[in-house]
Structure 1
Amino acid sequence: MKLITKVLSTLMVSSLATVAMAQQATNLDDLLSQLKQGQIAQSEQNKQREAEFNSRKAEQDQMLANARNTRDNAIKMSAELEGQFQNNEIEIGNRTDALNKRMGELKELFGVLQQVSGDLQSKFQTSVVSAQVPGRGEFLDEFAQSMGSSSKLASIEEIEQLWFELQREMTESGKVHKFSREVVAADGSKAQQDVIRVGGFNLISNGKYLEYVDETGSVAELIRQPSSRALGTAADLTASNGQAVAFSLDPTGGSIISLLVQAPNTQERVDQGGSVGYVIIAIGLIGLLIALERFIALFLVGNKVKRQLKTDVASDDNPLGRVMLVKDHNKDADTETLELKLSERILAEVPKLTSRLTMIKIISVVAPLIGLLGTVTGMINTFQAITLFGTGDPKLMAGGISQALVTTVLGLVVAIPMVFISTLLNTRSRGIINILQQQSAGIIAERAENEAPAQKGA
């Protein structure tokens, strides 16, 4: 390689020298003379290189011989190693057969132990007992790895340890135990607290439910706690001194509670309705305030009318008294005139008794229509999400569907009570108006009876 490099460098030098001479020549004769001299010099250099190559030929032959010897030794060693490898394979097979024959039924036992250790390891990852007894999974990891290797068998101590862990898990699952450990609060702060473990099901502290996080080996409060009914039983258990108390138990070890706390509460469901939902709620509150005012007003007016029915002295603080005052103010009027006067007074009292009842009825009709508007808007949003992102992820469509359903529910929740309230208030107002009409008819009949003898005498 060095020789080839040297030859190439010499040729490059010669070429450069020829180019230099060509540049120095002033005419063709000078150029021809310079080329001739260059050929003579190049011939001498070639002879020198050829002599140098021949002198190193013996060295190249020796290097070739050494390489051939190295190759022959490597081939011989490869054949020896291949034969040794085949012998080792045969030996390993013979020893494996002998080991299987000696193990017999123990091989099935070790297979069962490996399966049990794997199942127990997955159980420990979610068991709340691990919050009180940490580090149980380390032994199972080492045991499962050793059982997975065919070169190592389980020892008596390891089998007894596995049995002990099974027995301890079963025993602790039937106990209610209090212990102290660090708890991560919902705001991220950490504090040493007394934790109560209810069997292998739940952890509570200070009346709140906790969860065991296997990845970090920590115990943390649930970000959202279950209903007040469940929290009440947790508080009772925390305050108990060994006596039996009722407790809301999660038999799945916390899985059901974790799902329940993810369900949206009333405020979150209302928020899902969006602006349309808030408009419906606002209209419902307005209708409720109007209905409350009408209930109070009609209740007071009804009581005054009932008191007026029990006396003949007319009072102007109630509709019936004002109707009766018409008779007192028109003692000399004939029956037809009095009838007209009473009708006029009753017609003047009706708007006061039926005031704002129409608004309640309108709200009972408009609320479900607004809910339908929210339904259509929510479905439009859903179809837009489907157009943009497809149907691969249902969560992208959940917002529009939630708005559609929640607004419909809110519209019905407002409309149904408004219908009953409107009917009830109309019934009360119509009852008072009927009393006015009945008393008016009685007054006219009384006046007609008084006029009849006078007409006969005339």
Structure 2
Amino acid sequence: MMNRLTLLLASACLLLPVSGAAQETLDELLQQVEQAASEEARIDQQRLQEFRSERNRQQQLLEEARAELRAQQQRSDRLNTEFDNNERELADLETTLAERQGNLGELFGVVRQVAGDFASTLDDSMTSAQYPGRSQFLSDLAQRDRLPRVEELREMWTAIVREIAASGKTVEFTADVTNADGDLETGRSVARLGVFNAVSDGNFLRWDSVRDRLVELPRQPASRYQAMAEDFQNAAPGTVEEMAVDFTRGTILQSVVQSPTYRERLRQGGPVGLVIVALGVLGLLFALWKGVMLFIRGNAIKRQVKRDSADKGNALGRVLAVYEENPDADVETLELKLDEAILRETAPLESGLPFIKVLYVVAPLIGLLGTVVGMIQTFQQITLFGTGDPRMMAGGISMALITTVLGLVVAIPLTLIHSVLQSRSRQLVQILEEQAAGIIARTAEERHGHSV
């Protein structure tokens, strides 16, 4: 409003020189100035009244806030006093409860411990595949901070008895099974043998307590155990004659399927093991061929013994043919010719036996070589990685042991086979010598009789 009044005064000053004789204009200006001053005074008075009213209202709010503060402080003091009283009363009640519980407190501790232990047992039990979700009640009971009711104690006892009864039964049911490829198969027929084994489609299963699901073993035990599992699942109740039972609830079965196969053990032997196996196969094949040859020649010699005429198709026949071709030779000459014929026949009978002997001598030496190579690898692993992880040294140790075993496995049967074949060849040579000695004896006797 002051700006307006200032503007009017400035206008009047500008109009005076132009129209100084016009009294009416000055009166109008005066009237406007007075009206402006009056309006300004009225507005100022109104503002003053509003300010005073607002001040009074703020003062009232302040008084109300102070009153509320005093009320809240009084309430806080009252609540603190009540809290302290409740704390003392609670402590008294807890003391009274502990005194009145007596043996019930000890019983409560035992119940919680038994419930927790049995819940873990149920989680790991094979029967949980047939009755899932049984351990939740026991887990809640083990974590409870108040005394259990009689109904809860009875329910826990019933669960224990039910598990004992289920552990002695063989039942068949349907369940979800994770196969060896990791795929979930729903509604699969499962046969359970107590809490020890579970089989499905002739394959052994294990209970995975983390996923609450039966899982097919990625590697199954030997075929005879799988045949037992298939017979057990297909048999009528109470008619199973034989079934493998893992009383450790999966520990032995896991160890069995994790043990390496013969092919894996052979692979652990490395190149040295393969060389030993190749020598063993070569030696066995050669020994088999040699045995067949000695058997055939031996039968031919036995047939020749029963004949009167010499057949050059066998060793004894060729020796006898020397006598028939030299009927007039003297005893010394005949003896020399027969010895020469026997020597010619002895070489084929004994040929190849030194080769078998070389194989059964070389095989353990190569095995010893593999042992040394494996130990070198082991010490290299120890040098690089230390002895913190024994699995780092398993490769070298396996190679050392497997090659030693392979060398002995090849050498022992080859030694026995060589002994048998050598004995057989000596028997055949002895027959040739006996027949030659008989011929010489008869010839000498005949010559001596004629001379007399």
Q: Please classify the TM superposition score into its range, dividing by the shorter chain length.
A: 0.7 to 0.9
Deviation at 1:454, TM superposition (A): 4.7
In structure 2, how many angstroms separate the alpha carbons of the residues matched to 1:164 and 1:449? Answer: 105
Q: 1:267 aligns with which of 247, 250, 263?
A: 263
SS at match of 2:171: strand
- Corresponding letter in the other structure for 1:203: A
Which runs of 5 or more residues in structure 1 are unaligned? 1-73
In structure 2, how many angstroms separate the alpha carbons of the residues matched to 1:75 and 1:227? Answer: 82
In structure 2, how many angstroms separate the alpha carbons of the residues matched to 1:122 and 1:437? Answer: 83
**1:51 match:** none
Residues 257-307 of structure 1 show CA distances to partners (whole Å, capped at 9, x for unaligned) of: 122222222222222211111111110010000110011000011111011
SS at match of 2:258: coil
**1:144 match:** 142
**1:118 match:** 116
Matched, 1:347 2:378: no
**2:359 match:** 363
Which runs of 5 or more residues in structure 2 are unaligned? 1-71
Deviation at 1:455, TM superposition (A): 4.5
Residues 295-352 of structure 1 show CA distances to partners (whole Å, capped at 9, x for unaligned) of: 1000011111011111111001110000011111122322222222212211111111
SS at match of 1:261: helix
Q: 1:401 aligns with which of 383, 397, 401?
A: 397
In structure 1, how many angstroms separate the alpha carbons of the residues matched to 2:236 and 2:449? Answer: 93
In structure 1, how many angstroms separate the alpha carbons of the residues matched to 2:423 and 2:391? Answer: 48
**1:424 match:** 420
Kept in 1, the 8 Å contact 2:350–2:422? The answer is yes
Deviation at 1:153, TM superposition (A): 3.3
In structure 2, how many angstroms separate the alpha carbons of the residues matched to 1:454 and 1:170? Answer: 103
- Corresponding letter in the other structure for 2:111: L
Q: Which stretch of the first structure deviates more once superposed, 335-344 or 430-439?
A: 335-344
RMSD after superposition: 2.5
**1:60 match:** none
Deviation at 1:87, TM superposition (A): 4.9
Q: 1:183 aligns with which of 177, 185, 199?
A: 177
Deviation at 1:80, TM superposition (A): 8.8
Aligned pair count reads: 381
Kept in 1, the 8 Å contact 2:367–2:407? The answer is yes
Q: 2:323 aligns with which of 300, 324, 327?
A: 327
116 and 445 in structure 1: CA distance in 2 versus 1, 3 angstrom threshold? same
Matched, 1:247 2:207: no
Q: 1:220 aligns with which of 201, 215, 220?
A: 215
Deviation at 1:212, TM superposition (A): 0.9
In structure 1, how many angstroms separate the alpha carbons of the residues matched to 2:356 and 2:389? Answer: 43
Q: Percent identity?
A: 49
- Corresponding letter in the other structure for 1:169: E
SS at match of 1:203: strand
- Corresponding letter in the other structure for 2:152: E
Matched, 1:303 2:299: yes
SS at match of 2:144: helix
In structure 2, how many angstroms separate the alpha carbons of the residues matched to 1:385 and 1:81? Answer: 73
Matched, 1:234 2:229: yes
**1:415 match:** 411
**2:193 match:** 198
Kept in 1, the 8 Å contact 2:112–2:143? The answer is no
In structure 2, how many angstroms separate the alpha carbons of the residues matched to 1:437 and 1:75? Answer: 133
- Corresponding letter in the other structure for 2:245: L
In structure 1, how many angstroms separate the alpha carbons of the residues matched to 2:191 and 2:239? Answer: 14
Deviation at 1:387, TM superposition (A): 1.4
In structure 2, how many angstroms separate the alpha carbons of the residues matched to 1:219 and 1:77? Answer: 62
In structure 2, how many angstroms separate the alpha carbons of the residues matched to 1:193 and 1:331? Answer: 90
**2:272 match:** 276
**2:157 match:** 163
Kept in 1, the 8 Å contact 2:175–2:189? The answer is yes
In structure 1, how many angstroms separate the alpha carbons of the residues matched to 2:383 and 2:144? Answer: 54
In structure 2, how many angstroms separate the alpha carbons of the residues matched to 1:295 and 1:402? Answer: 35
Matched, 1:390 2:386: yes
Max radius of gyration: which structure? 2
- Corresponding letter in the other structure for 1:304: A
Q: Which stretch of the first structure deviates more once superposed, 82-91 or 93-102?
A: 82-91
Q: 1:100 aligns with which of 98, 101, 123?
A: 98
In structure 2, how many angstroms separate the alpha carbons of the residues matched to 1:112 and 1:206? Answer: 43
In structure 1, how many angstroms separate the alpha carbons of the residues matched to 2:291 and 2:84? Answer: 103
Residues 359-391 of structure 1 show CA distances to partners (whole Å, capped at 9, x for unaligned) of: 111111011101111111111111111112222
- Corresponding letter in the other structure for 1:105: N
> What does 1:83-98 align with in structure 2 at a 5 Å threshold?
87-98=85-96
Deviation at 1:105, TM superposition (A): 2.2
Matched, 1:316 2:330: no
- Corresponding letter in the other structure for 2:133: G
Deviation at 1:408, TM superposition (A): 0.8
**2:167 match:** 173
**2:435 match:** 439
